[in-house]
Structure 1
Amino acid sequence: MPGTELWLRSTRVVTPQGVRPASVAVAGGRITAVPPYEAAPPPGALVEDLGTDALLPGLVDTHVHINDPGRSEWEGFGTATRAAAAGGITTLVDMPLNSLPPTTTLAGLRIKRRAAEGVVQVDVGFWGGALPDNGADLGPLHRAGVFGFKCFLSPSGVEEFPPLTAADLERVAAQIAALDGLLIVHAEDPEQLERAPEPHGPRYAGFLASRPPAAENRAVDRLVEVASRHGTRVHVLHLSSAQALESLTRARARGVRISAETCPHFLTLTAEEVPDGATEFKCCPPIREAANREALWAGLADGTIDCVVSDHSPCTAELKVPDFGRAWGGISSLQLGLSAVWTEARRRGHPLDRVARWMATAPAALAGLGGKGAIEAGRDADFAVFAPEETFTVDAAALEHRNPVTAYAGRTLYGVVRSTWLRGRRIHHHGTFARPCGRLLERQPAL
């Protein structure tokens, strides 16, 4: 293997074919081969023997709210990507809202790219946004390299990103199908939400009642109909209601192009354990009961749910007032997703290669990032070195994201990220970081 610059070796390399002892050869920032563990490294290569630590592909998180520029006191490109690197994430895709301006025009995309340039620790791509009045912007944004378009079916929480009506959704779906693009959807039905009781006060039960499973179920049913009618590729964001899984299964059996994700908090936390006033647990759709959590795990295991991504949606501590009606909704978890999911996966007998598929390979495929998400020849040399048997207790103040708020504070989790590598360069190691070398990514046209 002439030209090899880096040679990693571990007794547990997580490959698409399973976990096995192996070496990984790297040249020019890419994986060139995955030879046997005992293979001799070429002369001149930098050799890193990881022992029994697992070598995972760098995670790909396609659902992150960075809020920069405009609300950078909530989060920013520098802090978010440091948290990502500390959590084994090497690629993320930024959501189009909560920043000002939102990524709903070509000008907004350019402003966001300027804010990110030179400060990102990991590779970063961008989603565009689909609004009731920006149909003329979708084509230019698509050609400029956004990875797809996000829309809401119910209020987003910020005035500058209004939801689509039923008629808007039909028009947008047809337009994105003509672009051969991807429509990603916050799927809660507004009529069902309007019928539900208003949330107020410190009790989580009141908030949970305000976001019933029926709102998600009806919205998913509508998306199945729209995707079927227009041939649009549609992705359901942050699926919380396990009752919607049957609709997705039936639709995919008919060839409807619809996929779904869920999030670490839906797989690890339960409504029964949320204390009164603990609005760090508030998100929309909500964390549901333990029985629902188990059904989501079953949907993940059987492939109905494609991937697991963070939906990192941070804010300042002041916005998390102890009233579930008034507090900002969002879980801060970017740095903790791998450990949180692994803690529950190992308890259920799921191996590391399955976790890597859910959190690296499948999100990369969703966004069309063919060079990311797996340890195999031809992919980017993006890695997370992970100690799966070690535990740690979450200290919110020690996390890298901007504000010390997280629903995981005080929880003991399995799995420590020792180091993270981006294109063959170590960018994080035991809490220290290299100079930012992340790139801004654009969607690559299909071949």
Structure 2
Amino acid sequence: MFVDEVEIKVKGGDGGDGMTSFRREKYEPSGGPDGGDGGHGGNVIFEVDEGINTLLDFKERKVFEAQSGERGGSKDQHGKDAEDLIVPVPPGTTVTNVKKDEIVADLVEAGQQVVIAEGGRGGRGNARFKNSTRQAPKFSENGEPGEKKELKLELKLLADVGVVGYPSVGKSTLISKVSAAKPKTGAYHFTTTTPNLGVVKVGDYNTFVMADIPGLIEGAHSGVGLGDQFLRHVERTKVLIHMLDISALEGREPLEDFKKINQELSKFNADLLDRPQVVAANKIDLMDDKDNLVEVKKELEAEGYEVFPISAVTGEGLDDLISRVNELVEETPQPQIEPEEEEVVIKGPQPEEEGEKFKINKENGVYQVSGEEVERKVAMADLSTEEGLRHLIKTLQNAGLEDALRDAGINDGEKVNVAGLEFEYYND
């Protein structure tokens, strides 16, 4: 089964909690704090695996979560960092952040890795909070939550040659004839509902990968016939074979078909018409006369296209077609990927921009405070002790929360909810 678009969820591992501990030795019953830091949570990493050619595994498993870091120990022992979760993906996978609707990674080369979701840092042990005025801190810090993302994965086939044309013109038959691929074929429209790949051998040493692109009909660029789902696979091809049914047995007009398909390619991505494109005039074995072929060759060759009369069924003309396509593959550079897709930069959780550290909304009389930074601070706070709670409040004050609440018009005695932590506000 071929799957080329899925949505999944990923989460980096949580950081390990810091430890609250004090030295208890024979001659030092009330020693100082010695709680260690927690370990770093594991990252979720996507890695290109050439042995995979589908996203089918992601249909079966929708959530990928790395392990959490180990908790810190006493005697200043730090928790162990968690191992990263390596997730194999096929070459040609584009990763999009669903909520932000932006491409975050474009994975092409074998072995290429990218951190998709960062693990949280380990919480600090109480030994880290000791200072000149606080000699025996009785609190530590929880581990930072791992980064969460909702992602859409799209697979764009890494084929050298894309075969385009209306349904039932013989694309799948061509693939089966010139390669070892055995796609489903038949004498009815939309026999092919997924792209087919085949490796074509030319001579003793040369090979190239050919893919037929199904579902191309008028309006394909906007989704008619599922064409927009398949057109993405054309974007990475070096050379296009444009197949026409030259027999006209189904009442088709080859020249009209040629123009319509190229219009769809142009509407989807105008650069596609700059790719080398040869014309395969198929089904010459079914022709009653050659008037159609003569007309097609005359007009398209005048426009600069090379036309190869072939029969994908009998094999007539295929050697000349494949030989020329192989030459074009060798002399044509790989299509350039857009810079924003090529530059893979994945950032972990980042503080909000200046001036947007907090979002404050008053709902049902309660001031609701949200924002990645403040939610992270609350998640990492040790709320099991009064000292830990005071430390959190001071941290939030230093971050400007009290000023932001006053600017929002809060009065003494009104309730505030900070990432699930509710309290009454007093300006003292």
Please give the range of the TM-score, normalised by the shorter of the 2 chains. under 0.3
TM-score w.r.t. length of structure 2: 0.25
Structure number with higher helix proportion: 1
Higher relative contact order (CA 8 A, sep 6+): 1
